[in-house]
Amino acid sequence: MTTVSSLDSGAVAPVSARESLFARLKKNRLSLFGGVLVLLAVFMAISAPFLPLQDPDAVDASSRLAPIGAPGHLLGTDELGRDILSRMFWGGRITLLVSIAATLIAMIAGTFLGLVSGYFLGWTDTVISRGIDVLMAFPYFLLALTVIAILGPGLLNGMLAIALVNVPFFARIIRGSTLSLREADYVLAAKGMGAGHSRILFRHILLNSLPTLVVATTINLGFMITAAAALSFLGLGVQPPTSDWGTMLASGRQYLSSAPHTSYLPGLAIFLTVLGFNLLGDGLRDALDPRMRD
């Protein structure tokens, strides 16, 4: 059949496979914008100790709930008179740190489980997959609450909780790509040449799953930031006096009518950072791994 697509295939110049990742991303202006947002958030997190910011915990009873643009406080102050601009930088540092650490934990654990179950199959796969099924049987946020109920609220426990919730996400993706890669010619060739299991797993299969993993991690970071901030918002994550964007939002909520900026500023920061990761993730997926398109 001469369909439109068969006509096209002969006529459209194939996209060069060697075209660099950056060049492909650059074409997608939205994901470039996402990248800028991410860089901005990362800059805030890294630069907090080096910038001439006020002490984020310095209480000033004389200037509580100062509005945006108040003298000496560019973004105003919160209910204890603490400088919001400074707290945005330091709070972002905690939010990003917790989310990135949780993502790394989930990625490493999930990747390992996915590799092992997809490669060895048999009872290993059955045990791991059933375990993952049980984790997935819990509604997304409920599992995090369960873990916190066991370990108690706190920054570290919150991080472990949201990490655990996202282990199945990575395990499933990597198991899928391992299943298809284990039958690939070069894996069979490596096996024929006597390569050991660990070499095949980490050298061949993991390396070739890397694009998928990069895309999954970027998209997952968006979830993680939301989840970490949500736990803090509920008072189950970061505990005072430490604070992140989630706790800032929660405490600002008491003053919605008199000083809305105390809650919408950290809210906006979370939104823009998550949006950044999602835009970047979409762009990376299109560039690196089009099969993952939803």
Partner 1 sequence: MRNYLLKRLAQTIPVLFGISILVFSMLHLAPGDPADLLLGPDATPEAVEDLREDMGLNRPLIVQYGAWAGRIVQGDFGRSVVLNRAVLPEVMKRFKNTLILTAGALAFAVVFGIGIGILAAKFHQTVFDSAAMLVALAGISMPTFFTGIAAILIFAMGFQVLPSSGMYPARGGDFFDLMRHLLMPAVTLGAVSAAILARITRSAMLEVIQQDFIRTARAKGVSEDKVVWIHALRNASITIVTVLGMQIGYLLGGSVITEAVFSWPGLGQMMVRAIQARDYPTVQGGVLIIAMSFVFINLAVDLIYAWLDPRIRYS
Partner 2 sequence: MDTLMHAPKTAAKNANAPLLEVSNLSTEFATYAGTLSAVDGVSLSLQPGEVFGIVGESGSGKSVTALSIMGLIKKPGRVTGGTVRFKDEANLLDKTPAEMRKIRGGQISMIFQEPMTSLNPVFRIGWQIAEVLQIHREMTRTEAWERAIHLLDRVGIASPAKRAREFPHQLSGGMRQRVMIAMAMACAPSLLFADEPTTALDVTVQAQILDLMVQLKEEDGAAVMLITHDMGVIAEMAQKVAVMYAGVVMEEATVEELFDSPLHPYTQGLLDSIPRKKSRGQSLKAIPGIVPNLLHLPTGCRFRDRCAAAHSACALADPPLQTMPNSTRKVRCWLHHPEPPK
Q: How far is the CB of 190 from partner 1 (least distance, A)?
A: 35
Q: Given phi > 0 = left and psi -120 to 50 = alpha, else beta, which region is 55?
A: beta
Secondary structure, 3-state, 213-229: HHHHHHHHHHHHHHHHH
- Assess 10 for contact with partner 2 (CB under 8 A): yes
Q: How far apart are CA 9 and CA 24, in angstroms?
A: 20
- Ordered alpha helix ranges (H), the chain: 4-11, 21-27, 29-47, 84-120, 122-137, 140-151, 155-181, 185-192, 197-198, 206-233, 245-252, 261-288
Which partner, partner 2, partner 1, none, binds residue 11 by CB below 5 to 8 Å per kind? partner 2
Q: How far is the CB of 10 from partner 2 (least distance, A)?
A: 6
Q: How far is the CB of 3 from partner 2 (least distance, A)?
A: 7
Q: How far is the CB of 213 from partner 2 (least distance, A)?
A: 31
Beta bridge partners of 73: 70
- Which C-beta is closer to partner 2: that of 10 or that of 71? 10
Half-sphere CA count of 293, side-chain side, radius 13 A: 5
Which partner, partner 2, partner 1, none, binds residue 294 by CB below 5 to 8 Å per kind? partner 1
Which partner, partner 2, partner 1, none, binds residue 2 by CB below 5 to 8 Å per kind? partner 2
Residues forming contacts to partner 1 in the complex (CB under 8 A) are 130-131, 133-134, 137-143, 145-146, 148-153, 222, 226, 229-230, 233-236, 246, 249-250, 253, 256-257, 260, 263-264, 267-268, 270-271, 274-275, 278-279, 282, 293-294
Q: How far is the CB of 179 from partner 2 (least distance, A)?
A: 25
Handedness of CA 63, 56, 102, 239 (dihedral sign): negative
Q: How far apart are CA 27 and CA 16, in angstroms?
A: 14
Token pair listed for 240: 């005072």
Taking CB under 8 A as the binding criterion, the range among 6-14, 18-26, 212-220, 248-256 that sits at the site for partner 2 is 6-14
- Which C-beta is closer to partner 1: that of 182 or that of 237? 237
* Contact call for residues 56 and 90 (beta carbons, < 8 A): yes
- Which C-beta is closer to partner 2: that of 194 or that of 290? 290
Handedness of CA 5, 215, 220, 90 (dihedral sign): negative
Taking CB under 8 A as the binding criterion, the range among 1-9, 102-110, 213-221, 233-241 that sits at the site for partner 2 is 1-9
Integer-rounded Cα radius of gyration of the chain: 23
Q: How far apart are CA 161 and CA 148, in angstroms?
A: 6
Q: How far is the CB of 258 from partner 2 (least distance, A)?
A: 55
Which partner, partner 2, partner 1, none, binds residue 41 by CB below 5 to 8 Å per kind? none
Token pair listed for 174: 């990597």
- Assess 61 for contact with partner 2 (CB under 8 A): no
Q: Which of 8, 183, 185, 294 binds partner 2 (CB under 8 A)?
A: 8
Q: How far is the CB of 79 from partner 1 (least distance, A)?
A: 15
Residue ranges that bind partner 2, judged by CB under 8 A: 1-4, 6-8, 10-13
